């Protein structure tokens, strides 16, 4: 687990950068104004619980273990109006904010590890949608 670079970078920002939730949602809604509209009624608690699950997904080095969970959430989220591209945007928002918080500690290998993790999750979501 310790060698997983996605895990390492999230652990590092948790230690050094404090709560990134507001920055992540700000980036998410900047990337995806449609999502901002859909989430306009949600409060901080709801947003926090959603982000906890997004972090949990990102921290799993075996994204294939999340197929059932993602099928469940994609199904639930259909009723809220969530579309496939919006999932990519929320994941990209986490990456962007973590990258910004890590500064010079974000290396090419970190970038590669994130790209692979995001693609693995998005591929599962595309199949579920």
Does 25 participate in binding ligand HEM (rule CB under 6 A)? Answer: no
**Interface of this chain with ligand HEM, residues 60 to 99, rule: CB under 6 A:** 73, 77, 80, 82, 86-87, 90
What angle, 0 to 180 degrees and rounded to 10, lies between the N-to-C axes of helices 84-102 and 21-31? Answer: 130
Residue 57 and residue 128 in contact, taking contact as beta carbons nearer than 8 Å:
no
Shortest Å distance, C-beta 103 to ligand HEM: 26
Nearer CB in complex with ligand HEM: 30/105: 30
DSSP three-state, residue 10: helix
Residue 84 and residue 34 in contact, taking contact as beta carbons nearer than 8 Å:
no
Q: Which residues bind ligand HEM (CB under 6 A)?
A: 35, 38-39, 42, 46, 49-50, 53-54, 57, 73, 77, 80, 82, 86-87, 90
């Amino acid at each position: 687990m310790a060698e997983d670079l996605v895990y390492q970078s999230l652990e590092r920002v948790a230690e050094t950068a404090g709560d990134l939730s507001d920055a992540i949602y700000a980036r998410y809604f900047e990337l995806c104004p449609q999502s901002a509209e859909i989430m306009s009624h949600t409060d901080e608690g709801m947003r926090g619980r959603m982000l906890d699950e997004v972090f949990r997904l990102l921290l799993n080095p075996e994204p294939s273990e999340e197929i059932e969970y993602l099928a469940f959430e994609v199904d639930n989220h259909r009723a809220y109006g969530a579309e496939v591209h919006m999932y990519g945007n929320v994941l990209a928002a986490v990456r962007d904010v973590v990258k910004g918080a890590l500064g010079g500690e974000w290396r090419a290998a970190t970038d590669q590890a994130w790209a692979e993790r995001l693609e693995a999750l998005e591929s599962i979501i595309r199949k579920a949608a």
